[in-house]
Amino acid sequence: MINNILAIFIGYLLGSILPAYIFGKILKGIDIRKVGTFNAGTTNVKRELGILPAIPTAIYDTLKGIISILIAQKIFHTPISISYLAGFATALGHIFPFYLNFRGGQGAATLTGILLFNLYKIFIVNKTSFLLTDLIILLIAILLIFYISKTQEVLSITILPLFSYLLILRVPFNWLLISTLIIITYLLIIGIINIVRFDLIKINKEKLPNFPFWRTFIRPAGFSFVILSFFLNKITLLTLIGAVLLLFFIFDLIRIFHDKVDRFFVKDLKDIFIILKEKETKRISSMTIFLLGSFLSFLLFEQKVAVLAITFLVFGDFFAKIFGLAYGKRRFFNKTLEGTLAHFLGSLIFGYILSNHLNISIGLIFLGAIIGAIVEILPFNIDDNLSVPLFSGALISLILKMSSK
């Protein structure tokens, strides 16, 4: 018991040593927590003090959690659970140093070091292997997200959930996996906090006045049809989607044939809550067309193809909207290159996640994601909510039929 307590206490003490704070005081007489990004970490040290003090800061902050784990294991001979508690205590020491009124850094570097240590043990020591396709998808995602956003935090909140899913899929459930997922969850939370704090995903609403942004953020709710398709038979599912589609269609017809109703929902309500886009005046709304695209996908294609087609529509469009509005610079037809790449990436990631349940090759998913992104960007006079699932679904169906002959 004493060894366990000592190991955790030493971990906390090692974590409470903050090179960022020490270098700030020695080199410039400043409190690094009160300048720049107000964080006692490597990035702020590089920004405020230069590259030379940033290097030892990065090295120590990254290694001190690993050092604490090894001290606990090799010197105090603690069980693995206690040794990792000592490692986490190091991160707590970094975040809450006792001599600085318990206000330090975020602990991201320390936990990243432990994460790398865990991955070394998972893949080298325990010989756990990812599939080649896992590594390819991760590499594509990393390159595209970094190209689009140039932001570490955006990269982390996009890649870490995918990486966690692959770890759960490939790695045995043990303390090593649990501690790894805890670290990833914390890093994900820190990434989200930093994005909100520093406004790293800044959507300029002035570019799209009177646009119902809430519809973009609830778009993933459309994935519920995909989930239901695994539990309901085709007739029941089509009846359910058709009933919802009918309600939306009747609402649109009432708007189209009654000017006052249309004006109320499109114009009169916009100062309170924007429901419909200006371009949907006297027209069928894109929400109705989305339901139509979902209905036709499940009607025309076999279940696994329809699932992919709607996945491309839901998450491809979601990624395209968010990243296109936040980072879109290179115009391409009426879209942006960044938004199109994000559409492909969203389709690829979620299509790949579903591939384990659909028995469809990654090659087909890759091709379907490309077609969906191309259809979305080309200036067809067809709503994307209809063209993306039907074109991508038709292509995948055609290839599957040709390969079965």
pLDDT of res. 368: 95
Percent of the chain beyond pLDDT 70?
97
Say whether both 8 and 112 belong to one domain.
yes
Say whether both 214 and 322 belong to one domain.
yes
Q: Is residue 32 part of a domain?
A: yes
Give every CB contact of residue 213 below 8 A, 6+ residues apart in sequence.
203, 205
Say whether both 149 and 225 belong to one domain.
no
Say whether both 15 and 84 belong to one domain.
yes
Q: Which of 81, 99, 123 is the last residue of a domain?
A: 123
Q: Is residue 154 part of a domain?
A: yes
Q: Is residue 249 part of a domain?
A: no
Q: Is residue 10 part of a domain?
A: yes
Which residue range is the domain that position 371 belongs to? 205-232+286-404
What is the sign of the dihedral through the CA atoms of 219, 221, 227 and 232? negative
pLDDT of res. 17: 96
Q: Is residue 262 part of a domain?
A: no
Say whether both 153 and 71 belong to one domain.
no
pLDDT of res. 130: 84
Q: Which of 93, 123, 153 is the last residue of a domain?
A: 123
Tokens of 87: 């490692």
Q: Is residue 50 part of a domain?
A: yes
Distance set, CA 59 to CA 56, 62, 65, 105, 183 (Å): 5, 5, 11, 15, 19
Give the chain's domain count.
3
Say whether both 32 and 139 belong to one domain.
no
Q: Match 């720049």 to its residue by tokens.
A: 36
Question: Per DSSP, which regions of 216-374 are E strands?
Answer: 331-332, 335-336
pLDDT of res. 214: 63
Q: Is residue 222 part of a domain?
A: yes
Distance set, CA 3 to CA 6, 65, 68, 71, 75 (Å): 5, 18, 13, 11, 9
Say whether both 102 and 154 belong to one domain.
no
Q: Which of 123, 156, 187 is the last residue of a domain?
A: 123
Tell me: pLDDT of 52 over 80. yes
Question: What band does 254 get if pLDDT is binned at 50, 70 and 90?
Answer: very high
Tell me: pLDDT of 205 over 70. no
pLDDT of res. 213: 66
Q: What is the mean pLDDT of residues 338-364?
A: 92
Say whether both 304 and 390 belong to one domain.
yes
Question: What band does 220 get if pLDDT is binned at 50, 70 and 90?
Answer: confident
Say whether both 225 and 319 belong to one domain.
yes
Say whether both 67 and 194 belong to one domain.
no
Say whether both 343 and 363 belong to one domain.
yes
pLDDT digits (tens, 9 = 90+) for 76-135: 999 999 999 999 999 999 999 999 999 999 999 999 999 999 999 998 888 878 888 999
pLDDT of res. 210: 64
Helix 132-149 × helix 337-358 angle, to 10°: 160
Residue 332 pairs in a beta bridge with 335
Q: Is residue 104 part of a domain?
A: yes
Say whether both 171 and 225 belong to one domain.
no
